[in-house]
Amino acid sequence: MGLLNSFGDRVHFYRADVSQVSQCEQVLHRIGQQFGKLDIVVNSAGVFRSGGIEGVTEAQFDLIMDTNVKGTFFVCKYAIPLLKKSRHAAIVNISSDAGLHGNRDCPDYCASKGAVTLLSKGLALDLARENIRVNAVCPGDIVTPMLDEECERQPDQVRYLRELADPYPVGRLGQADEVASVTCFLASEAASFVTGAAWPVDGGLTA
């Protein structure tokens, strides 16, 4: 909030829990009332849980699917009428390398991000004639607060980070601004002929 407030009246912030469909609808309704249309939607809310399928409870499964999949789906649903009022509209959904291939010890997360990737492709086909482009960004391991929380749960954090970075051909983890730059490109008119793509931002991992 502090960073957003630094932009003054040029930024408006609406708090919502995207795992709740009613809140997705309400926040898009408020945006429509205030601005009348939308040009860009970036669905970046997500949660992660590590561990094999044996330990997954129904509540944990629901949290991941409700946030990662249902939230993305219904934000798109309620945003589309507003996006149709824009001449050059774009949706960018943040998926994952786990939405392109399997990852160990996170089957529920893989399922959720696979859904986001294919949702993006399906919507791209449905909305192409409406001049709404839809793409997915598929990051690998990125240094974020979510990764910091996962790291804090490890008995040997240095070893954990080293082993996490080891499979990457570039030899390191990604940075948030590297994902942001690709997201901004896909949202911009520079990517006017790009829709239905799933863009890896993963240091060569999925290559």
pLDDT of residue 1: 63
Q: Taking residues 90-94, what's their average pLDDT? A: 99
Instruction: Indicate the pLDDT class of residue 146, thresholds 50, 70 and 90.
Output: confident
pLDDT greater than 70 at residue 186: yes
**Residues with catalytic function:** 109
pLDDT of residue 56: 96
Note the Cα 22 to chain centre separation in Å. Answer: 20
180 burial class (0-12, 13-18, 19+ CB within 10 angstroms)? middle
pLDDT greater than 90 at residue 150: no
Q: Which CATH superfamily is domain 2-201 in?
A: NAD(P)-binding Rossmann-like Domain (3.40.50.720)
pLDDT greater than 70 at residue 203: yes
Helix (H) or strand (E) holding 95: none
d(CA 189, CA 35): 21
Q: Note if the pTM is more than 0.85.
A: yes
pLDDT greater than 80 at residue 12: yes
Q: Taking residues 111-140, what's their average pLDDT? A: 98
Q: Taking residues 67-87, what's their average pLDDT? A: 98
pLDDT greater than 70 at residue 57: yes
Which position has the higher pLDDT, 158 or 4?
A: 158
* Tokens (6 digits) for 144: 């974020």
Q: Taking residues 126-148, what's their average pLDDT? A: 95
d(CA 86, CA 94): 22
Q: Taking residues 157-162, what's their average pLDDT? A: 93
d(CA 50, CA 53): 10
Other beta carbons within 10 Å of 7:
10
pLDDT of residue 5: 82
β-partners of residue 133 are: 90
Q: What is the percentage of the chain residues whose pLDDT exceeds 90?
A: 89
pLDDT of residue 79: 98
Contact 173, 146 (CB under 8 A): no
* Tokens (6 digits) for 192: 């006017």
Q: What is the mean pLDDT of the chain?
A: 96
Domain locations in the chain as residue ranges: 2-201
- DSSP for residue 168: -
Which position has the higher pLDDT, 59 or 7?
A: 59
Contact 62, 20 (CB under 8 A): no
Q: Taking residues 48-77, what's their average pLDDT? A: 97
Q: What is the percentage of the chain residues whose pLDDT exceeds 70?
A: 100
